[in-house]
Structure 1
């Protein structure tokens, strides 16, 4: 995996751009807050793919006319990227299994919305390849926030 020092804002902006058509169909606004100078040792295209998966999910599981926010901020030795939606939310009992392959919260709705249960598993593997972590905070009826935390140093392979 090719890791290089990369500005994070353009990676996020490209991911959002790739999701705009999807968002427009439901009149969902995607906002981005990321310091322009923020740099990380990452594989840009791979991280972009993880962000696209998360943003598409945020759109898919939100009602029309809602907002999705992608926010990145520097912590002491890491960068946190938040993908926050105003969607349906996820029941507490599903949160710990969410990143398992083929796990779907609501199989009836997933089938209707076209989910395979692989997207979040792929995201988890991409984040782990960057020596990072991903977790989710969610409240039923109030939306979900997926939080990717990546080390600033990055991996050195």
Structure 2
């Protein structure tokens, strides 16, 4: 006769699996949508040109410029996706950490954004309470600052200004990027660091945003074991704050 000595119950919690499946499906849907828009535009203009329906050089040139801009947009999306994928798989042990003079990195980042600022007659001011230094990967930190300053310029009105401010508190260095632009409604603030999340989808695409810039910033700062958060009032501007450990 058979003897039963006990039983084993196996319980699998599939909550996390379902969450990851949902994230994956949303990501695929977002990427598909972001790439489909410029592809549809390119296809339409190429088909029109291929049929020989456009005769004059001015219209042909205008169509080709639109095709070029849409191709550049797709390239930007793919570049940002690759950068984000690399950051998501990277931990702090892989960073090239060294003592970085924060004001120097800020000045370098501002130089990368100055042309766009000048086009809108926006002044980028830099203020610092001292020569603050942090333990950081200089190239990645500069990329995060470029993304934030570029965003501040992008969503500010003409003849406005952007302020980049640095100060030290206890064992940390604090960097603030402040603008007096359109601001972010409170209900959106908790989600702006998500991939492809946009407050104003139409305006963001019009201004050339990929919807990945702030997500890249978040992952860069988290890789440094730092913090980033935003304070904003709709119609009055935004302040993004980065907190890093001192060198």
TM-score (normalised: structure 2): 0.61
Contact 2:130 2:167 in 1 (8 A): no
Rounded to whole Å, the distance in 1 between the matches of 2:242 and 2:159 is 25
Match of 2:244 among 138, 143, 150: 150
Match of 1:94 among 174, 188, 211: 188
Matching residue of 2:179: 85
Contact 2:165 2:175 in 1 (8 A): yes
Q: SS of the residue aligned with 2:99?
A: strand
Matching residue of 2:103: 9
Matching residue of 2:159: 65
After the TM superposition, list the runs of 4 or more consecutive aligned residues in structure 1 that deviate by more than 3 angstroms: none
- The farther-off stretch of 110-119 and 21-30 is 110-119
The reply on whether 1:45 has 2:125 as its aligned counterpart is: no
Unaligned 5+ runs, structure 2:
1-94
The reply on whether 1:107 has 2:201 as its aligned counterpart is: yes
The aligned length equals: 153
Match of 2:230 among 109, 114, 136: 136
CA offset digits 1:42-92 (Å, max 9, x no partner): 111110000000000000000000010000100011111000001000100
Return the structure number with greater strand share: 1
Unaligned 5+ runs, structure 1:
none
Q: SS of the residue aligned with 2:152?
A: helix
